[in-house]
A and B are shown apart, each in its own frame.
Chain A
Amino acid sequence: MAGEIQNPIIRVRDITVQFGATRVLDGLNLDVKRGEILGFVGPSGAGKSVLTRTIIGLVPKVAGSIEVFGVDLDSSNTSQRRNVERRWGVLFQQGALFSSLTVRQNIQFPMREYLRVSQRLMDEITMAKLTMVGLKPEVADRFPSELSGGMIKRVALARALSLDPDLVFLDEPTSGLDPIGAGDFDELVRTLQRTLGLTVFMVTHDLDSLYTACDRIAVLGNGKIIAAGSIADMQASQHPWLRQYFHGKRARAVMG
């Protein structure tokens, strides 16, 4: 475990993903360092969500290897895989809350499965998580269909954090939120990263998030990472898509 500290928390090597004849990811390499917030951008349909889903194991890959916490997910056995899954949390684009369970039950679902914790402690931790993601305790007994879009994202984040993971995947966490809500969410991710020592892998389109929340940015294009580095590196890049992205009308507005 000592080596884990120097090694990247996610190490993706030469992965190729294909749907029929279309090659979505083509020999992609990516490292995510411990404790950082990595923003992952790219044009719509470039395969950002596909990469996320491939790392999590929801999409099969044709070639390449993925290591998370130093465990190669292909050669790992079930218990090793379980162990890795227990240490990551995933926030899906639409929240993916279980619609027939209340907010409280949604957050407690992973705890019930993986931990042996008393009901009292579970309830208290649920309240703590809700407070952390900026929700009032009153929402605990509501069903997902009774929540607003922003609340769904927050509850989904609380569920993703319920086991105190070391790594969270956020798939477009601020999409569908108003600018103030999105700003709060970025702030929240920052705070949680500080307090819980999280590593965050964030797929986003939100320039504000990139500027305020992310330590490092990786850009996906043509099935590969075309650039990775700090926001300054991105702005200095001469790649045409990056130039358009970081020097377009909206980018200038953000930079003010």
Chain B
Amino acid sequence: MSSDPKLERIAKGNALALCATGTWTASFAPVLERMVADAEKLAGSPQSIFIDVSEVAKLDTFGAWLIERLRRSLTHGAVEAQIAGLSANYSSLVDEVRRVRATPVVETSTVTITGMLEQIGRAVAGVGGTVAGLIDMLGAVLAAGFRVLIHPRSFRLTSTVHHMEQVCWRAVPIIVLITFLIGCIIAQQGIFHFRRFGADIFVVDMLGVLVLREIGVLLVAIMVAGRSGSAYTAELGSMKMREEIDALRTMGFDPIEVLVLPRMLALVLALPILAFLGAMAALYGGGLVAWLYGGVDPEAFLLRLRDAISIDHFIVGIVKAPVMAAVIGIVACVEGLAVQGSAESLGQHTTASVVKGIFFVIVMDGVFAIFFASIGM
């Protein structure tokens, strides 16, 4: 049924007829475009031109537009190209296409050095905005927290418990597994290198101090930022996209109180618990490796551990956990509420949530290290 389209030139006395035949549809678009471009060179000839489409077997928007394009380029001054032999079926389609205004397309995205510099400048200026946004959210969360303290009945217990389950209970297996493995690796590396100096037993000191003070909480915080921070951003972001947050607001609810506060609270409670479990798992893993690989039996390990660490080490570690949780939560919620209408924006903000969350966790850890060093803990 479909035959190759053709555009033949037939001179009829003083006039020139362009006879279109065959199938003028999208599947033949490249051929059609070439033929039309060829025929457009006739523009400027003094002959009057008409385009005969009576033999066209099939026409769609693409074909109709190309005929219209040809008609427009052959029309100049007083000489107007005509379309002839249009069947009733297709005349309304051609009429429709004739209404199209040819607006030149302006492509705006060009990469220039000034454009790149501008982007860098905007990004740097945006840092201030980020910090302000975080402080803003911190204030809003605290204000909502105080409101809930004054009116305890507005506290959303169910929601908080639900989020506790999501970020704490369900995170336990993976957190314990990973910290256990990290404990094993620290012990193995310690024993391997300390053995050369005959200082195998000091691996217990290293493990205890490192795990309780730093690795335990830092590692868990980074994992929580990746696991729960991203989830918070995605949840809030998709709610924002579907106007659910606007709906809450119009019903007289404060989204911070309803959505952000329970999530923040759940995270602030969850991270110390997870950090504690993580530290225990890491010590257990380290102890196991010290026993099986280093020959330090469990009794000796525990004795040494009791000498090496004090409660201070544990406190230094665990005190950091709620603060880090607050930072992760605030970053995640700010990013979630900043999501715009598109799926791409949701992806960008979820990425930003994890990256910024981890960055701020490490910055906080550094600040704490300086603080504890200066108070001598």
State the A residues within 8 Å of B (CB): 1, 98-100, 111, 115-118, 121, 123-125, 127-129, 131-132, 137, 141, 143-146, 161, 163-164, 191, 194-197
Given the known A-B contacts A131-B100, A164-B62, are A194 and B92 also in contact in the complex, defined by CB atoms under 8 Å? Answer: yes
- Cβ A100 vs Cβ B101 within 8 A: no
CB distance from B211 to the nearest CB of A (A): 43
> Would you call B61 an interface residue if the criterion is a C-beta within 8 Å of the partner chain's C-beta atoms?
yes
Closest B-chain residue to A161, C-beta based? B61
A137 to B341, CA, bound (A): 22
Contact mask for chain B residues 100-118; partner A; CB cutoff 8 A; 1 contact, 0 none: 1111010010000000000
Q: For B27, what are the chain A residues with a Cβ–Cβ distance below 8 Å?
A: 115
- Min Cβ gap B212→A in Å is 45
Complex interface: chain A residues within 8 A of B105 (CB): 123
Q: Which residues of A contact B29 (CB under 8 A)?
A: 115-118, 121
Given contacts A121-B33, A128-B61, contact A195 B92 (CB under 8 A): yes
Q: Quick check: B33 and A118 within 8 Å, CB to CB?
A: yes
- A163 to chain B: closest residue by CB: B26
A residues less than 8 Å from B1 (CB atoms): 1
Q: Is A129 a contact of B61 with CB atoms below 8 Å?
A: yes
Which residue, B33, B69, B99, B103, has most C-beta atoms of chain A within 10 A?
B103
Residue B66 at the chain A interface, CB threshold 8 Å: yes
Are B30's CB and A117's CB within 8 A?
yes
CB <8 Å contact, A127 and B99? no
Assembly CA distance A95 to B26 (angstroms): 24
The interface residues of chain B lying within 8 Å CB-to-CB of A196 are: 60-61, 93
Q: How far is the CB of B23 from chain A (nearest CB, A)?
A: 12
List chain A residues, Cβ under 8 A from B25: 164
Chain B contacts of A129 at CB under 8 A?
61
Is B101 within 8 A of A137, CB to CB? Answer: yes
Residues on B with C-beta less than 8 A from A197 are: 89
The verdict on A164 contacting B61 (CB below 8 Å), with A123-B105, A131-B99 known, is yes
Give B61 Cβ to nearest chain A Cβ, in Å: 5
In the complex, what residues of B have CB within 8 A of residue A98's CB?
343
Tell me the nearest residue of chain B to A129, going by C-beta: B61
Secondary structure at chain B's binding surface: helix, strand, loop or mixed? helix
Q: Can you add 12 more A-B contacts, CB < 8 Å, to A100-B343, A118-B30?
A: A99-B342, A100-B344, A115-B27, A117-B29, A118-B29, A128-B61, A128-B65, A131-B100, A137-B103, A145-B340, A196-B60, A196-B61
The tally of residues in B whose CB lies under 8 Å from a CB in A reads 32
Q: Which B residues touch A144, using CB under 8 A?
A: 341-342
The smallest C-beta distance from A204 to any residue of chain B, in angstroms, reads: 24
- Is B273's beta carbon under 8 Å from chain A? no
With most chain A CB atoms within 10 A of its CB, the pick from B96, B99, B101, B108 is B96
Considering the chains assembled together, what is the distance between the CA atoms of A121 and B62 in angstroms?
A: 8
Which of A131, A144, A195: most chain B CB closer than 10 A? A195
B29-72: which have CB < 8 Å to A? Answer: 29-30, 33, 60-62, 65-66, 69
Q: Is the CB of A121 within 8 A of B100?
A: no
Q: Closest approach, in angstroms, between the C-beta of B43 and any C-beta of chain A?
A: 17
Question: Do B97 and A115 touch across chains, with their CB atoms under 8 A apart?
Answer: no
Report yes or no: B100 in contact with A127, Cβ–Cβ below 8 A.
Answer: yes
Q: 1/0 per residue B63-100: CB within 8 Å of A?
A: 00110010000000000000000000100110111011
Give the distance in Å from the alpha carbon of A191 to the alpha carbon of B93 in the complex: 9
Which 3 residue pairs are nearest across A and B when measured between Cβ atoms?
A145-B341, A100-B344, A99-B342
In the assembled complex, which residues on chain B have CB atoms less than 8 Å from the CB atom of A124?
65, 69, 100, 102
A156 to B351, CA, bound (A): 29
Output the least CB separation between B104 and chain A (Å): 9
**23 pairs, A vs B, C-beta closer than 8 Å:** A98-B343, A99-B344, A115-B26, A117-B33, A117-B62, A118-B30, A118-B33, A121-B33, A121-B62, A124-B69, A124-B102, A125-B62, A131-B96, A137-B101, A144-B342, A163-B26, A164-B26, A164-B60, A194-B92, A195-B95, A196-B60, A196-B61, A197-B89
Q: How far is the CA of A128 from the CA of B63 in the complex (A)?
A: 12
B-chain residues with CB within 8 Å of residue A163 when the two chains form the complex = 26
Closest B residue to A137 by beta carbon equals B103
Docked-complex contact B101 and A143, CB < 8 angstroms: no
Residue of A nearest to B94 (CB): A195
Contact call B89/A127, Cβ cutoff below 8 A: no
CB <8 Å contact, B341 and A99: yes
Residue numbers in B under 8 Å from A100 (CB-CB): 342-345
Query: Are A127 and B101 closer than 8 Å at their CB atoms?
Result: yes
* Cα–Cα, bound, A141→B109 (Å): 12
A129 to chain B minimum Cβ distance, whole angstroms, is 7
Q: Min CB distance, B96 to chain A, in Å?
A: 5
CA distance A123 to B97 in the complex (A): 14
